[in-house]
Amino acid sequence: MSSHPAALIAISKACGSFSFPHDRFDFMQACASEVMAGSLTTYVKTAKLCGSLFQPDMNDSVTGVGSLVSGVDTNFFVNHEEPLDALAWLQDQGLWQLGHLPDGVEFLLIFETPRRRSRSLSGHRAERGAETS
């Protein structure tokens, strides 16, 4: 959740499997309500999902969210000059799928990450023991 598109792209790259603009949003659509409700941060937990992914029957004039695809209404009204500049560049390059950023709204991106296998404790000890022998 962020008003800055570059932050969302960075986290998607850091976590691995999600790739702008090539991935679909099925997982996000299915899990967003539950993920938001499970947050320990009050403003995240109470933020209202918005955008065409969550409100397909609402037209732009009713919602006031323009062509937003996935966002949350946080009612945080901050200066979006820098995020909007980055957003315009990404849209010009065809690298942004989440739409426009209305006032008081942040973009929402939720995606699956690959499960990482944990190293067994015994395997880790064996490796350490081999190094010190």
Tokens standing for residue 103: 């006032």
pLDDT score for 17 = 63
Residues with pLDDT less than 50, the chain: 61-65, 129-133
Q: Domain map of the chain by residue range? A: 5-132
pLDDT score for 131 = 47
pLDDT tens figures, 1-12: 999 999 998 888
Looking up tokens 């350490």 gives: 128
- CB atoms closer than 10 angstroms to residue 9: 20
Q: Give φ, ψ of 88 to 5 degrees.
A: -60, -45
pLDDT score for 63 = 45
Full-prediction pTM beyond 0.85?
A: no
pLDDT score for 14 = 84
pLDDT score for 113 = 75
Q: Show Cβ contacts of residue 54 under 8 Å, excluding neighbours closer than 6 positions.
A: 29, 32, 70
d(CA 96, CA 89): 9
pLDDT tens figures, 15-26: 866 666 666 788
pLDDT score for 67 = 86
Tokens standing for residue 101: 């950023």
pLDDT score for 122 = 53
pLDDT score for 121 = 57
Q: How many CA atoms lie within 13 A of 20 on its CB side?
A: 22
